[in-house]
Amino acid sequence: MKDKIVFSRRNFLRTSALASGGILIGVNFLNACAEAAQPPVDVANLDFKDFNAFIKIAENGYVTIFSPNPEIGQGVKTSMPMIIAEELDVPWDHVTVEQAPLNTEKYSRQVAGGSQSIRAGWDSLRQTGATSKQLLINAAAERWGVSAQTCTASEGIITNEEGETLGYGEVVNDAAKMEVPENAVLKDPKDYKIIGKNAVNVDIDAIITGKPLYGLDFKEEGMKYATVMRAPAFGEKLKSYDDSEAKTVNGVEEILQFGDKIAVIATNTWAAMKAKRKIKVQWEPSGNLEGSALHSQKLDAILDRKDLKVEREDGDVNKAFADADQVIERTYESPFLPHNCMEPMNFYANVTADKVYLVGPIQTPAGTASQVAKLLERDEKDIDLQMTRMGGGFGRRLYGDFVLEAAEISNLAKKPVKVVYSREDDMTAGTYRPSIKYRIKAALKDDKVTGYNLKEAAINSNMYGLIPNFFPAGAIANYKVETGNYKSDISTGAWRAPYTNFLAFAEQSFFDEIAGELQIDPVQLRLDLLDNVDEGADERIEYSASRMKDTIRLAAEKGNWGSAEPGIHKGFSAYYSHNSHVAEVVSIGMQNGFPKVKNVTVAVDCGIVVNPTGARNQVEGGVIDGIGHAMYGYFPFEDGRPKAENFDSYRLIRMQETPVVDVHFVENTLSPTGLGEPGLPPAGGALANAIKAATGQRLYQQPFINSFEKQKLQDIKV
Amino acid sequence: MATYTLKVNGKKVNVEADDDTPLLWILRDELNLVGTKFGCGIGQCGACTVHVDGEANRSCLLKASELVDHEITTIEGLAEDDDNLHPVQQAWKEVDVPQCGYCQAGQIMTASAFLKENPAPSNEEIRKAMHGNICRCAAYNRIEKAVALASKK
């Protein structure tokens, strides 16, 4: 299976001879290179406006990959260079990955982020490596005066038919003067030497020795620290404030109002935080001061409506329900959830007459830079936004509200400032996973599921993209998904595995109930339903029934599904999201009437696994995150205010509640897909199903802890 | 404002600060030791963990005035130098623990102080000792493995 690829060198790859010796290859994965774009002749002048990455091959054959792509924690800074190195065919320990230094002021705005990186980059990264390798082979062939087709390269060494060899480093200076080849042959996956082997996180040394990496660590000469006071309730605005006491705090330079917010600018973080608490503010209503009880009523009212938006409809659902032997209907409810990245939101801004210089952790640099330009009425060319490593994202850093705050404060104060959120700011300033209710109804006839109707009622916005076409779409002939929403002043946004993080819980709990009614094993029910799917018949259906079945069987086998163990109760769940298929078996025991999650066995089909240690880490984390939030994530509102604001009142899963996660990958040679998110959605459903098996109690509301009275929030022991 | 002489990573340093300034912000803002992380400010997450006289402490809850004449060690001072990592750091690397990495300095400082007290812990003891440190990426399985591995080094 040799995959021949042809594409124009003008479109993606340029070379230059380095002044110090060696070759520098500039790559643009996403767009065609500009006509005049040329890599520099020294690596101190890397310019990421024209290229996404640079590959330097030195005269000793060692390879350095320079990338401006920062990390949010999903490991692409390690796995993406592995793909280049594989096709370039160099030993991984000859490869260094460097994040281009922050002070180059030449960061790309073309960088993609999020869980699609590997999937989107798979072809172009392989092509980059393969084309670079061919270029080096061509240089060696010319030196020997033989045809390049008679030469091969492996592990950084080129060999001809006579058995003569040249190291990559010996031909780099010649290669830098040669034409970039138009075509290159990609490896057969069975020949992979780097892909599929464990590679430790390339930033590990800096992380474990405490080097400055994150936005909060960034400093510049003359920089001030700013904290921001925002309305404590959604639906409130600023009426008046008295900052006389706050101004007396040592280190405070200035307190200023912008919109309905107040900024404290100080010479150090502590002074800015302390002074903020001393501002006496009066707020007044600007909208509805809503609470969770009201939201629950509003969402129920939406579920009762007959005129919801139809997202997908197959067959005749009404007839299926009219003809049914039995109809099951259940409603599931989730709270809002804050993201709680460990690194609180922060951003540096230095707005001057010449330019707007922004540095910090953000997943959407291009869109955010445009928003800043608009806010400050500046030309987009004036905006220079640089990214740092991110202390978690989970969706929160898709939204640049804190970048806008930093830019506005710097613009008003005419100083370089770094806005720093306290944990309380981070948890109460908004952009939550929306509170959602699902009502699911199934028609059962002759021991089959003949009809399915899912209604989603959500705060602010609904499921998007192809989600209405996820399983069981295609598996049940009469199928309908409907949505509606209630607009609230409480701000909402993407949260790790948006919508599916709760939808999967609802559906996977519901299938367990159907299996119970039909007196069939829950795993078998899913396999039977998948047998109904006519694969490839509907292009909106992305999941593969055959891959899903293999994944389900692997999880069932590895998780010893169906075998009884004393004191252990199991739950099953399977879900496709973010282009990967995942199935999970959760095993729990009961301790003093409380569920103790012991093990989670996970099967994943994400195609080729580029970096197994990194991939496992993502799945382990996603599963534990899913278990943790299903179990403990509770974020109710009253009078427009969240009732939790720090980790003493908001519970995250901790070490002693953590199960052992055992990850198995389905082995195949299909293109790789993302892993940052797909492990999470099935976890909550599998846990709920295990709790049902253990206690007989079926849970319809997250978090589950609220169903176990004795263990409510006051029991958090740290 | 007052001037305090602190001993940080074996060196004496003079810092000027209000007497209620947490050690965390003295380290980060005044001494440029940014490896110690801010997570919650109320001693609940462990991201800011440092050693005071060898014991794990939350630097967000410590005041400069309480620290004169005590030995403070931060993540930057845990190993002799970057080529001679502490066994806990070595284990962290072998197990490939971090995802986003932000909480890891605090985890490592908690683990290294714990292993000094209890050089051969059971898994249960490790889980209890590390319970106060939140990892939002939930790399808990690997943290547990790394602490166990470090105890054998």
Q: Tell which of B28, B45, B76 closes a domain.
A: B76
Rounded Cα distance between A703 and A198, Å, is: 36
Strand partners, B73: B51
Q: Tell which of A188, A208, A228 closes a domain.
A: A208
State the smallest CA–CA distance between residue A497 and chain B in angstroms: 14
Nearest CB to B98 within list A204, A251, A656: A204
CATH number, domain with residue B20: 3.10.20.30
* DSSP letter for each residue of B92-130: HHHHT--SS-TTHHHHHHHHHHHHHH-SS--HHHHHHHT
Three-state secondary structure string covering A65-111: EEECCCCCCCCHHHHHHHHHHHHHCCCHHHEEEEECCHHHCCCCCCC
CB pairs under 8 A between A and B: 194
Region A522-528: what's the mean pLDDT?
Answer: 98
Strand partners, A660: A599
Q: A156 and A35 in one domain?
A: yes
CATH number, domain with residue B106: 1.10.150.120
- Residues of A whose CB is below 8 A from B143: 655
Contact across the interface for B138 and A394, Cβ inside 8 Å: no
Contact across the interface for B38 and A274, Cβ inside 8 Å: no
Region A360-388: what's the mean pLDDT?
Answer: 92
- Residues of A whose CB is below 8 A from B140: 624, 653-655, 658
- Residues of B whose CB is below 8 A from A200: 93, 96
Examine residue B82 and state whether it is found in any structural domain, yes or no.
no
State the smallest CA–CA distance between residue A618 and chain B in angstroms: 8
Nearest CB to B130 within list A209, A621, A655: A655
For B74, name the nearest residue in chain A, comparing CA atoms only.
A210
Q: B19 and B72 in one domain?
A: yes
Contact across the interface for A209 and B38, Cβ inside 8 Å: no
Pair A1, A36: CB distance under 8 Å: no
Contact across the interface for A208 and B98, Cβ inside 8 Å: yes
DSSP E strands, A413-498: 417-420, 436-445, 448-459, 478-486
Q: A455 and A363 in one domain?
A: no
For A425, name the nearest residue in chain B, comparing CA atoms only.
B40
Contact across the interface for B93 and A621, Cβ inside 8 Å: no
State the smallest CA–CA distance between residue B147 and chain A in angstroms: 12
Q: A652 and A522 in one domain?
A: yes
* DSSP letter for each residue of A253-274: EEEEEETTEEEEEESSHHHHHH
Nearest CB to A654 within list B21, B41, B131: B131
Q: A583 and A692 in one domain?
A: yes
For A645, name the nearest residue in chain B, comparing CA atoms only.
B40
Nearest CB to B89 within list A209, A213, A624: A209
CATH number, domain with residue A615: 3.30.365.10
State the smallest CA–CA distance between residue A26 and chain B in angstroms: 28
Region B122-127: what's the mean pLDDT?
Answer: 98
pLDDT-based confidence at A552, cuts 50/70/90? very high
B7-56 pLDDT tens trace:
999 999 999 999 999 999 999 999 999 999 999 999 999 999 999 999 99
Q: B147 and B93 in one domain?
A: yes
- Residues of B whose CB is below 8 A from A212: 34-35
Contact across the interface for B96 and A200, Cβ inside 8 Å: yes
Contact across the interface for B102 and A212, Cβ inside 8 Å: no
Q: B91 and B71 in one domain?
A: no
Examine residue A384 and state whether it is found in any structural domain, yes or no.
yes
Contact across the interface for A393 and B134, Cβ inside 8 Å: no
A119-171 pLDDT tens trace:
778 888 899 999 999 999 999 999 999 999 999 999 999 999 999 999 999 99
ipTM, 2 decimals? 0.98
Q: What is the pLDDT of residue A366?
A: 82
Q: Identify the weakest region by mean pLDDT among A2-6, A233-237, A318-322, B93-97.
A: A2-6
pTM: 0.94
Contact across the interface for A655 and B140, Cβ inside 8 Å: yes
Examine residue A308 and state whether it is found in any structural domain, yes or no.
no
Parent domain of A186:
9-208
CA triple A260-A263-A267, angle to 5 deg: 180
Q: Tell which of A163, A188, A208 closes a domain.
A: A208
Examine residue A193 and state whether it is found in any structural domain, yes or no.
yes
For B63, name the nearest residue in chain A, comparing CA atoms only.
A270
Q: B97 and B51 in one domain?
A: no
From the list A487, A240, A515, A226, the residue with the least C-alpha distance to A351 is A226
Strand partners, A582: A575, A604
State the smallest CA–CA distance between residue A411 and chain B in angstroms: 23
Maximum Cα–Cα distance across chain A: 86
Q: B20 and B63 in one domain?
A: yes
- Residues of A whose CB is below 8 A from B100: 71-73, 341-343, 389-393
Q: What is the pLDDT of residue A642?
A: 97
Q: What is the pLDDT of residue A70?
A: 67
State the smallest CA–CA distance between residue B139 and chain A in angstroms: 6
Region A206-226: what's the mean pLDDT?
Answer: 96
Mean pLDDT over all residues of chain A? Answer: 92
Selected residue of B19, B21, B23, B40 to mutate for chain A interface (largest A Cβ count, 10 A): B40
Q: B106 and B63 in one domain?
A: no
For B17, name the nearest residue in chain A, comparing CA atoms only.
A250
pLDDT-based confidence at A42, cuts 50/70/90? confident
Q: A448 and A357 in one domain?
A: no
Q: B69 and B13 in one domain?
A: yes
The domain tally of chain B equals: 2
Rounded Cα distance between B142 and B111, Å, is: 13
The domain tally of chain A equals: 3
Q: Tell which of A208, A229, A261 closes a domain.
A: A208
State the smallest CA–CA distance between residue B113 and chain A in angstroms: 15
Rounded Cα distance between A606 and A66, Å, is: 27
pLDDT-based confidence at A5, cuts 50/70/90? very low
Q: What is the pLDDT of residue A7?
A: 47
- Residues of B whose CB is below 8 A from A613: 96
Rounded Cα distance between A235 and A215, Å, is: 30
Examine residue B94 and state whether it is found in any structural domain, yes or no.
yes
Rounded Cα distance between A703 and A266, Å, is: 40
A464-507 pLDDT tens trace:
999 999 999 999 999 999 999 999 999 999 999 999 999 999 99
Residue A13 has pLDDT above 90, yes or no: no
Q: B63 and B91 in one domain?
A: no
Rounded Cα distance between A249 and A64, Å, is: 49
Assign A597 to helix, strand or coil: strand
Contact across the interface for A618 and B99, Cβ inside 8 Å: yes
Q: What are phi and psi of A211, to 5 degrees?
A: -70, 155
For A200, name the nearest residue in chain B, comparing CA atoms only.
B96
Q: B69 and B7 in one domain?
A: yes
Q: A655 and A636 in one domain?
A: yes
Nearest CB to B105 within list A210, A624, A718: A210
Q: B122 and B147 in one domain?
A: yes
Q: A173 and A80 in one domain?
A: yes
Contact across the interface for B37 and A72, Cβ inside 8 Å: no
Q: A265 and A179 in one domain?
A: no
Q: B141 and B95 in one domain?
A: yes
Region A207-218: what's the mean pLDDT?
Answer: 96
Selected residue of B8, B95, B140 to mutate for chain A interface (largest A Cβ count, 10 A): B140
State the smallest CA–CA distance between residue A542 and chain B in angstroms: 28
For A267, name the nearest residue in chain B, comparing CA atoms only.
B29
Q: Tell which of B29, B50, B76 closes a domain.
A: B76
A184-198 pLDDT tens trace:
999 999 999 999 999
Examine residue A364 and state whether it is found in any structural domain, yes or no.
yes
Nearest CB to B93 within list A200, A618, A656: A200
Contact across the interface for B41 and A646, Cβ inside 8 Å: yes
Q: B72 and B12 in one domain?
A: yes
For A613, name the nearest residue in chain B, comparing CA atoms only.
B96
pLDDT-based confidence at A10, cuts 50/70/90? very low
From the list A431, A426, A428, A419, the residue with the least C-alpha distance to A228 is A419
For B99, name the nearest residue in chain A, comparing CA atoms only.
A73
User: For residue A373, what are the contacts with CB-CB under 8 A and spacing of at least 6?
Assistant: A356, A379, A380, A382, A383
Examine residue A329 and state whether it is found in any structural domain, yes or no.
no
- Residues of B whose CB is below 8 A from A220: none
State the smallest CA–CA distance between residue B77 and chain A in angstroms: 8
A85-127 pLDDT tens trace:
999 999 999 999 887 654 444 444 344 444 567 777 888 889 9
From the list A658, A626, A650, A659, the residue with the least C-alpha distance to A716 is A650
Q: A488 and A590 in one domain?
A: yes
- Residues of A whose CB is below 8 A from B135: 342
Region A21-25: what's the mean pLDDT?
Answer: 95
Pair A187, A155: CB distance under 8 Å: no
Q: Tell which of B76, B110, B133 closes a domain.
A: B76
Q: What is the pLDDT of residue A252?
A: 98
Q: What is the pLDDT of residue A52?
A: 78
Q: Would you state the torsion angle of the CA atoms of residues A459, A464, A470, A474, taken in this order, to the nearest 10 degrees?
A: 110
For A626, name the nearest residue in chain B, comparing CA atoms only.
B138
Residue A696 has pLDDT above 80, yes or no: yes
- Burial tier of A179 (Cβ tally within 10 Å: 0-12, 13-18, 19+): exposed
Instruction: Note if the bond before A472 is cis, omega within 30 degrees.
Output: yes
Residue B65 has pLDDT above 90, yes or no: no
Q: A204 and A222 in one domain?
A: no
Nearest CB to A342 within list B39, B79, B127: B39
Examine residue A179 and state whether it is found in any structural domain, yes or no.
yes
The amino acid at A203: D
- Residues of A whose CB is below 8 A from B139: 617, 620-621
Nearest CB to B40 within list A225, A392, A646: A646
From the list A351, A363, A439, the residue with the least C-alpha distance to A398 is A363
Parent domain of B71:
2-76
Residue A674 has pLDDT above 60, yes or no: yes
Region A588-608: what's the mean pLDDT?
Answer: 95
